[in-house]
Amino acid sequence: MKKFLMASAIALAASTTAYAQTGGSAPGGLPDSNAPRNTGTISAPNMEQQRMIRTYWQSRRPAAITLPNGMTVTRGAVLPQAVELRSFPADVGMTEYRYVVVGENMYLVNPSDRRVVHIMQ
């Protein structure tokens, strides 16, 4: 009986881990209402969007962050959960992007998969 209970506990723990890694789907394949929505692939911003972002960046000068040891950011890199993504204010109108500032660069990030889509220098 103890072996059965232990095996059941291990199976439950494994299924919980798998559930957490699937992006928040509830059992039965229905989306979890608390999970972030997958907005699909976000392409690099167009010239007008870049101008709006640059105006925001130059006028507000959001503080730069320090990355975890040894981490570098490149286009296409996936940022770990430990890196806080910031939202643009509503007046900038860039709701599809989040950003981080590291050093002298601003990195635009797809919030659904935390992938860097554009680097503003």
pLDDT, one tens digit per residue, over 87-115 is 999 888 888 899 999 999 999 999 999 99
Are 11 and 60 within one domain? no
**Structural domain contains residue 1:** yes
Residue 58 in domain: yes
The count of structural domains within the chain is: 2
Q: Are residues 22 and 72 in the same domain?
A: no
Question: Is residue 8 domain-resident?
Answer: yes
Q: What is the DSSP letter of 78?
A: B
The 10s digit of each residue's pLDDT in 74-90 is: 999 999 999 999 999 98
State the pTM of this model.
Answer: 0.62
Cβ contacts of 39-44, under 8 Å, gap ≥ 24: 39/96, 39/110, 39/111, 39/112, 40/112, 41/110, 42/96, 42/97, 42/110, 42/117, 43/117, 44/108, 44/117, 44/118
